[in-house]
Structure 1
Amino acid sequence: MKIKSISFKRVFYQYFEPFTISLGTHEEQENVEVCVRLEDGTEGWGEASALFVISGETPQMLEKMESTVKDILVGKDVEKYHILFNSLQNLRATPAIKAAVEFAIIDAFCKRYRIKPYQFFGGAKDRLETDKTVGIEDLKTTLAKVERIYKEGFKKIKIKVGRDVKTDIERVVRSKEIAPDASFVVDANQGFSPKEAVEFIQALYHESVNVDVFEQPVFRYDIDGLKFVRWNSPYPVAADESVFTKYDALNVIKEEAVDVINIKLMKSGLSDALAIIQIAQAANIKLMIGCMGESSLGIRQSIHLAAGTGAFTYYDLDSHLSLNEEKFRGDFKQEGPFIILD
């Protein structure tokens, strides 16, 4: 069960369509694949996917961590994964690589014992329903994409907002008309001021839009602003970029600033994600599981964690549906909005 080698590989993907959020537009994605090989030839795989505008990481930065990871892990026993996770806290400045390496360790462990990672994490579920995301677009394009997603069977739709309050209100309200049985997550990616966020979300309420979550309305470090929005919003408010670590989660909960925390492995790593789950459950805070730009190989990490723990109320696991992959590499089935594990 000892680790014989670690290898990193940069991979490039093109988005089917440009994807715009309040922080910028993305047309391509570079990820780093991580392979942990055991002495018996067993391989565990993970993927790191970072967005510089969110985490400050670049593919070049992630790739350069290979020698550090080798120094930490080679020759160590994957059965002692908890000790290895503690050693990997040195990667806290590159949480995407931390996530990929930690999951690759668990993946190798599970393959060695012939179990699935979701069973390792608790086996609570083997089926999830994800939303699908519409980026920031003009009104006509937004409505066309909402209609397309709705016809694909998705009844949970995420709409990116945060550039202009009045335009965003119209985009979401009109989307409700296109998808009358859908519920929506509206995600500002830090784009609004606290006052703008309250104006926006109260307008949706007055139009009877079925909003599940209002996600990251304000700047990530403006916890007072986040709290102001939460206490003036008729819908649950979620922290995304405001919570990277377990300490961030503890802080926003202590400040009574959120109803929901969006966990992304690429922000937190696997070990901190598990800790955030425990903290949120103790505080009766709901959880969303989200993604960055993971391919089918990378999104499986979050799928197995979410299904195994059964800890999440909201699922935003659709990044692989936006990338042009030559080969599907997930160990799950995608049937419309449903993700099914064997």
Structure 2
Amino acid sequence: MEIRRIDTVRQSVPLIKPFKTALRTVYHAESVLVRITSKDGKVGWGEAPPTVVITGDSLESIEAAIANTLTPLLIGKNVLAYEQLMQSIHHSMVGCSSAKAAVDMAIYDLVSQFSGLPLYKFLGGYRDRLETDFTVSVNSPHEMGEDAVRYVQSGFSVLKIKVGKDSIDEDIERIREVRLRVGNEIKIRVDANQGWQAKEAIRSIRRMEDMGLNIELVEQPVKAHDIDGLKSITDAVETPIMADESVFSPLQAFEIIRRRAADMLNIKLMKSGGIYKAQLINQMAEEFGIECMVGSMIESRVAVTAAAHFAASKKNITRVDLDAPLMLVHDTVTGGVKYDGPFMVLPQEAGLGIREVKPFQMEVAQ
């Protein structure tokens, strides 16, 4: 099953509502779609969004990495020797994790197609259904409360509340408003996106605990490099702390686990460089009794389908944050994972189960 060609194409899909975090505001879901065609005509799909403030990857750098480094490396190679291919991909260049992820998921799509299995079954097959949270962008407390009520009325029972953009007192008011509006039965996850300092995070999380806001977890309260600060928070509060931007590679995950700097890990394919390394992170965490969540950037159903297959395949992945396609005005994918309210149903076709992708505002990569 030789790789015959690798093509890339850009897409840009408007969001229903701007996505706001402590790090950025997004109005369009931009990405580079990757199509790998085998000699026998099978097609594997992948996707990489530019997330400069997190991964350092832009549209241009993703396209260049795929065209100039990964394509020459892979053309003519047998995808069934995917262990060799993954080793070559991850040793081919430093960084460029999003480009690696897009190619990685397309290769796994082809390999699992050859096996005749949906990718989640090929990877382990633990479950065929997931429940995602829905993200409430950081805005005024009133607007966030209104958004939260709307998402709950749509069937979501888990909300991720974005904070960290202004003062921490304003963040507590945002969380309090959401809790008042949705009641106590809805799970609330808080994501500061590196927006707090360690000492203020400790003080404020304790305050939220005393207020009875019943926060399920707090994600990445401090800067990605501040592992000491992350550990100090984890040690000082009862609320579970999740590491996100602090964990790209298995080596970084090992450091978090070794130091017990967080209670949980958020694995994203765009950070790990794809499914191959994501599996290593999850397996390592599982051995130490640390649960993982699978999240995404602002991606279409191409990359989110790959992430969902990975998440569904593993027992230790107990939470998913894969709501990005629900934020888009247009769905460009035929096949792939399907949404039933907050529930994600994995396709039973071989591979990713993606039959066709029609990029919106298509622009062919040079």
Q: Distance in 2 between matches of 1:325 and 1:218?
A: 34
* 2:338 match: secondary structure: strand
One-letter code aligned to 2:160: K
Aligned partner of 1:110 in structure 2 is 112
**Does 2:207 correspond to 1:165?**
no
Aligned partner of 1:142 in structure 2 is 144
The Cα of 1:310 is off from its aligned counterpart by 2.8
Q: Which of 213, 238, 256 does residue 242 from structure 2 map onto?
A: 238
Structure 1 gap segments, 5+ residues each: none
Percent identity, please.
37
* 2:76 match: secondary structure: coil
- Please say which of residues 123-132 and 61-70 is displaced more in the overlay: 61-70
Contact 1:91 1:98 in 2 (8 A): no
The Cα of 1:25 is off from its aligned counterpart by 1.3
* 2:138 match: secondary structure: coil
The Cα of 1:330 is off from its aligned counterpart by 4.7
Equivalenced residues, count: 342
Ranked by relative contact order (alpha carbons within 8 Å, sequence separation 6 or more), the top structure is 2
Q: Deviations over 1:241-272 (max 9, x none)?
A: 00000010001111210100000001012221
**Does 2:145 correspond to 1:154?**
no
Runs (4+) of structure 1 exceeding 6 A deviation are none
Q: Distance in 2 between matches of 1:329 and 1:107?
A: 15
The Cα of 1:113 is off from its aligned counterpart by 2.8
1:47-62 correspondence runs (5 A):
47-62=47-62
Q: Which of 208, 215, 235 does residue 211 from structure 1 map onto?
A: 215
Contact 2:296 2:304 in 1 (8 A): yes
Q: Distance in 1 between matches of 2:44 and 2:97?
A: 18
1:68-107 correspondence runs (5 A):
68-89=69-90, 90-107=92-109
Q: Deviations over 1:65-107 (max 9, x none)?
A: 2232111111111110011000001244111111110110110
Structure 2 gap segments, 5+ residues each: 348-366
Contact 1:8 1:33 in 2 (8 A): yes
The Cα of 1:157 is off from its aligned counterpart by 0.2
One-letter code aligned to 1:251: E
Q: Which of 254, 258, 273 does residue 254 from structure 1 map onto?
A: 258
Aligned partner of 1:22 in structure 2 is 22
Q: Deviations over 1:128-148 (max 9, x none)?
A: 000000111001110000000
Contact 2:133 2:160 in 1 (8 A): yes
Aligned partner of 2:64 in structure 1 is 64
The Cα of 1:29 is off from its aligned counterpart by 2.6
1:217-228 correspondence runs (5 A):
217-228=221-232
The Cα of 1:155 is off from its aligned counterpart by 0.6
Q: Distance in 1 between matches of 2:108 and 2:266?
A: 22
1:156-195 correspondence runs (5 A):
156-163=158-165, 164-180=167-183, 181-195=185-199
Contact 2:300 2:331 in 1 (8 A): no
**Does 2:22 correspond to 1:37?**
no
Contact 2:17 2:327 in 1 (8 A): yes
The Cα of 1:158 is off from its aligned counterpart by 0.1
Contact 1:55 1:267 in 2 (8 A): yes
Contact 1:132 1:149 in 2 (8 A): yes
Instruction: Indicate the RMSD between aligned Cα atoms, in angstroms.
Output: 1.2
The Cα of 1:305 is off from its aligned counterpart by 0.2
Q: TM-score, normalised by structure 1?
A: 0.97
Q: Distance in 2 between matches of 1:326 and 1:339?
A: 15
Q: Distance in 1 between matches of 2:314 and 2:256?
A: 22
